[in-house]
Chains A and B, each alone.
Chain A
């Protein structure tokens, strides 16, 4: 009797949750309805989590004596995990958002891997199909966990340089094949029965050890600039692992939510890779950014420094300015100062626009979030395709903390690793000011030809301090005029 009611209630709850997830994600596709979208999905999650405790009525016979302990453990784990992540998520700076998404995604992957592990250790899988799906879910989940942790460390600049060595691809392939082989052996052993070479538990540990190692090895050689694509891939991977786990434990809500995220994440990955004009396999396996190091010092001309105040005054008398913000702006926490400066220019009758590259920041769309945080209205922000033709008729392009996304080498230099990536045509503007902390290369480690061009002037210094100088200079002018 209990079990019938339990199945009815959890079944209904899962159905509601699955619907709310889809509906919530749909609402997230427009800025107007997006905030309610996440709340809709949140309600679905709450319903599903509460209903999942009803599983207590139908646990298997072996687990029945442990039920109260397990229930206690579940509540403790829920409260601990949720409160720690909630607190961190509420307090973290907007600039660190990509790291947080990476680490939360890793947590999800880890949970998916752990569920597969419980099923394997408990020998709960029925039949070959379930065993194969469990192993696949475990593999993807574990790779997603360790890979996301490496991605997080790279974005958080704990790991600064991509680690590359000779024969790396062979090692990676070997580790991958080894984990597949172990999985294959487990399937074979389950079929054949009888004694295994090692106790089954050891084999399971080896399997997860190898898959975790593979996630680490696979992510280490990828450069920091490519991390957004990598996180997006792992996001899709975690979704897939969750979906597979859902099949194993017969929870359709997990299957649907996991697979929706798997597909959405894959599409998002492709969109991002397309914005960088690279294929996904190129991101994963090309050791991006290596070529450039051998090609230093080939660029003609010199970087011409200029005072921030002079640059500010020049822009005050320009007709039109396009601002190209990059991650450096966010690092210097200068978005609000930038908007203050822009408002000053607008008050002086200058036509100011913002141009956002699809991969500006550490994650596609992050720059839009950061400008929104500073109060910049939507109608001033333009995406690459909408604004790139305007540079030719613009007096000044102001590049702040952006580097690779304005590098003309992407258009002209076939040997450049970013060749073919669409860039913002800052070099086409009549004059170009680049605010930069110092001489040096961008996040991807490529020298920027724009900085050496005749009409480019460099403003060296912290973005916030330089903007303060520009603001003061422009204010000084109007004060003198009055």
Chain B
């Protein structure tokens, strides 16, 4: 059996079209309040480029290719790690502060009643 992937011509265009449509629909219903984390999150997702960088570097056979491949992995790794770090930080903040303040105001109301 052959599991090698060969994407040519129209198949590539179909993949691109469906993926673009998917991205458009997925993002379409994001509330304005999440726009910054979302931009950062999609920034993280295109960090997948590091996989391409690893592929290119492993297949490098000259010094020039090795240097540029190294740079590709270095930059791609920065994109992935940085994108994840800032997105996760932002989103975590949304959750905890929202819950905490909700609890705090509930507690206050309860205190006032008693």
Contacts and interface: CB of A to CB of B under 8 A. Distances in A.
Interface in A261-300: 261-268, 271-272
A229 to B, nearest CB: 11
A97 B30 CA distance: 19
A52 B54 contact: yes
Contact of B32 (A48, A235, A250, A358): A358
Best-buried of B23, B48, B51, B98 by chain A (most CB within 10 Å):
B48
B66 A66 contact: yes
B20 interface: yes
B73 A111 contact: yes
Contact of B57 (A74, A103, A272): A74
A119 B19 CA distance: 24
B82 A86 contact: yes
Given A73-B57, A111-B50, A129-B9, A85 B79 contact: yes
A63 B60 contact: yes
Contact of B75 (A73, A110, A363): A110
A372 B48 contact: no
A257 B49 CA distance: 9
8 contacts: A11-B3, A29-B34, A31-B98, A242-B52, A243-B19, A254-B49, A368-B36, A383-B32
A378 B98 contact: yes
Contact of B52 (A34, A232, A249): A249
Given A55-B55, A264-B26, 8 more contacts: A80-B74, A89-B84, A243-B16, A251-B52, A253-B51, A256-B19, A261-B45, A363-B36
Q: A-side binding surface: helix, strand, loop or mixed?
A: helix
Given A104-B78, A114-B69, A62 B33 contact: no
Interface stretch (A20-28, A164-172, A303-311, A418-426): A20-28
A307 to B, nearest CB: 31
B23 A115 contact: no
B73 A74 contact: yes
Instruction: Pick the 9 closest A-B CB pairs, nearest first.
Output: A89-B85, A81-B77, A85-B82, A263-B23, A114-B72, A365-B35, A260-B23, A111-B76, A259-B19
B2 A21 contact: no
A375 B40 contact: no
B46 A238 contact: yes
B52 A369 contact: no
B58 A56 contact: yes
Interface string B11-25: 010011001111110
A201 B65 CA distance: 11
Contact of A373 (B7, B42, B93): B93
A108 to B, nearest CB: 4
Nearest to A204: B64
Contacts of A381: 33
- Give the size category of A's interface with B: 35 or more
A460 interface: no
Best-buried of A52, A63, A264 by chain B (most CB within 10 Å):
A264
A74 B56 CA distance: 10
A28 B29 CA distance: 10
A8 to B, nearest CB: 4
Contacts of A82: 77-78, 80-81
A22 to B, nearest CB: 6
B83 A81 contact: no
A235 B45 contact: no
A353 B43 CA distance: 32
B73 A77 contact: yes
A60 B58 CA distance: 9
Contact of B24 (A42, A74, A264): A264
Contacts of A78: 50, 54, 73, 77
A252 B7 contact: yes
A22 B22 contact: yes
A4 B16 CA distance: 26
Nearest to A4: B3
B57 A89 contact: no
Contacts of A163: none
Given A66-B66, A263-B21, A17 B48 contact: yes
Given A4-B1, A369-B94, A112 B34 contact: no
Contacts of B36: 97-98, 101, 361, 363-366, 368-369
Interface string A58-99: 011011011101110110111111111110111010100110
